[in-house]
Amino acid sequence: MDTKVEERVKEQELSQNSKITHEMAVQAAKMMHQGKKRQEVTTFLNTKSLNDMEAKDLIDALAKALRIQYRGAIKSGILWTVGGGIVTVATFFWASSKPHGGTYLVAWGAVIFGLMDLGRGLLGMAKMKNY
């Protein structure tokens, strides 16, 4: 889980009930990130003295923050993958336009990084369907 989600958790804590601690919210977000079911996260929060309504509100806020994070990963993954592909194709055509050929760049790092980021975002969004 990245710092952006933790920052959103802190912001949410300030506007939520004072019974919610930072550690509690981070642990709940980690459980959600791991794909735990809503009921498991609610049960965990109930053991930390939150009632069902408070737990629901916190889970909803965390789900929103995680969805924002995963959408960002999807967007950046697409951009890196497409950008790497464009660089590869552009330098290939530039090299092939020379009379005796030339050298071109295969931007495999950008493509692989983009696919990994895209995959991380898609998997995360799939986990969020329970929320």
* pLDDT tens-digit series, residues 32-50: 999 999 999 999 999 998 9
Rounded CA separation 96/60 (Å): 54
pLDDT of amino acid 131:
85
3-state secondary structure of 110: helix
Rounded CA separation 60/101 (Å): 57
Question: Which residue reads 């030339």 in tokens?
Answer: 102
Whole-model pTM above 0.75?
Answer: yes
3-state helix vs strand vs coil in the chain, percent to 5? 80, 0, 20
Q: Name the band, by pLDDT with cuts 50, 70 and 90, for residue 119.
A: very high
Q: What is the rounded average pLDDT of the residues 73-81?
A: 98
pLDDT of amino acid 107:
96
Residues 6 or more apart in contact with residue 85 via CB below 8 angstroms: 107, 111
